[in-house]
Amino acid sequence: MIADADDWRTRDLAVLWHPCTQMREHPHALPLLPVARGDGAWLVGFDGRRVLDGVSSWWTNLHGHAEPRIAAAIGRQAQTLEQVILAGCSHAPAVELAERLLALAPREAGRAPLAKVFYADNGSSGVEVALKMAFHWFHNRGVAGRTKFVALTGSYHGETLGALSVGDIPLYRRVYAPLLLESLFAPSPDAFGARDEAAAIACAERAADALAALFDAHAGEICAFILEPLLQCAGGMRMHHPAYLRRVRELCDAYGVFLIADEIAVGFGRTGTLFACEQAGIQPDLMCLSKGLTGGFLPLCAVLATQDIYDGFLDDSRERAFLHSHSYSGNPLACAAALASLDIFDADDVLARNRATAARMVALAAPFRTHPAVAEVRQLGMVVAIELHPEPDNREDGHAVEIAGRRGLRMYRAALDADVLLRPLGDVLYWMPPYCIDDAQLDLLAHATATALAEADRCA
């Protein structure tokens, strides 16, 4: 039993090692937020205090915390089949979810559709799956030397060693550099600072030209190019024009390189369409889905692949098979949660409702454009990013690290004092709320942001 918030903090710090945290900062610099339960967009403390989840609990939550329809689906599934080995066995939720994801996946005229689903149990593992599949496919073809992956500067694909190898956030990566694969990095098409669409397209074209040059210089060495379509999230909520994705698709085809779309954070409506690739009209060869896949209830990852990739592993030899597995691959509870989440998209017409919510977010964020500390306000679907001018004395590679530097901490605390959980990514304050957020909650979000910006001003 947890008696009260202080008791809770003491017991927590006695036994827990928190993710992505310098534990020295707890509890003084960085207060721990005790959460007793969730209710829609609210996190509710032991004392009944309500804090708005402005970051959808690390971008996982879609329809609200403790959403009753998803909770009920998990409960029903738990009483039917909680888990079964997915090698050699099959179960209804895994099959139904695969059918539905493939039917919803981005389509491109004249290209064979994504046709198979491989389950992993979290985003990083799914990225590992996609990278290994791409490499192994060439290996099975007898093609030697296609051992390199290409990723974008400012990219983030997870924390396991393979996923970290294709990531480009120095503070997360640097220490482990001696252990990592040698990936190639192409410049991000990031349109930060672009005045209008023409300027954003120019960024996209320049970056695509650089990618072409990289592909050319390493022809025959590259097996896959991985990117976060339209929105580099952990890299600072940086956005790019869909024109880049169209060029990428052409270049990957021209150089025989697999295109891996990491839609782990942007999938399931976050950018306005169900999947970000749709906005460019392109279809990847491999697509990774996680985070919002289960509505934010349970860890699960689905890697969608083309028939061609799948066929490359069919053989009499087991060595040519994809012998990758996770104990909980395709867990029935997680698949049931994902099916219930997809049902909610239909029942509540979530994408249409989000268009109205996103318009309101844009209107509420507009006044921040003229704030002296703010360099840019940008928006894509259900994401608003308010980028501040760099903090002069921040030596922490803080541009893309959560709650970095003195200013990051002060903004985090100011927002929390105003009852909103915001985790600034270095210089970027962003909104990524659950889709169920209502008008009053949006007003609170804007108010807390104004408070945090006032605090940022005081640091300057």
Residues of the shown chain interacting with ligand PLP in the complex, contacts defined by CB under 6 A = 122-124, 127, 156-158, 228, 233-234, 262, 264-265, 290-291
155 is in an annotated binding site: no
User: From the CB of 263, what's the least distance to ligand PLP, in Å?
Assistant: 8
What are the E-state strand segments in 15-174?
Answer: 37-39, 42-44, 50-53, 114-120, 148-152
Asked if 281 contacts 244 with a C-beta cutoff of 8 angstroms, the reply is no
Q: Where are the alpha helices (DSSP H) in 146-221?
A: 161-165, 170-173, 197-217
User: From the CB of 123, what's the least distance to ligand PLP, in Å?
Assistant: 2
| Minimum CB distance to ligand PLP smaller for 312 or for 433 | 433
218 is in an annotated binding site: no
Strand order through the sheet with 37-39: 37-39, 42-44, 50-53, 420-421
| Minimum CB distance to ligand PLP smaller for 124 or for 283 | 124
Paired residues of 232 in beta bridges: 238
435 is in an annotated binding site: no
| Minimum CB distance to ligand PLP smaller for 190 or for 228 | 228
168 is in an annotated binding site: no
| CB-based closest residue to ligand PLP | 123
User: From the CB of 159, what's the least distance to ligand PLP, in Å?
Assistant: 6
125 is in an annotated binding site: no
Q: How far apart are CA 118 and CA 94, in angstroms?
A: 10
User: From the CB of 313, what's the least distance to ligand PLP, in Å?
Assistant: 24
| Minimum CB distance to ligand PLP smaller for 55 or for 344 | 55
Q: How far apart are CA 8 and CA 36, in angstroms?
A: 10
329 is in an annotated binding site: no
| Minimum CB distance to ligand PLP smaller for 30 or for 231 | 231
User: From the CB of 19, what's the least distance to ligand PLP, in Å?
Assistant: 9
Q: How far apart are CA 314 and CA 120, in angstroms?
A: 20
Q: Reduce the DSSP state of residue 224 to 3 states and report it.
A: strand
CA 323 to chain centre: 26
65 is in an annotated binding site: no
Residue 278, Ramachandran bin (φ over 0: left; ψ between -120 and 50: alpha; else beta): alpha
For residue 381, what are its two tokens? 């679907």
Q: Is the peptide bond before 27 cis (omega within 30 degrees of 0)?
A: yes
Residues of each annotated binding site for pyridoxal 5'-phosphate: 123-124, 262, 326-327
Binding residues, as ranges, are: 58, 123-124, 156, 262, 291, 325-327, 423
Specify binding-site residues for substrate: 58, 156, 291, 325, 423
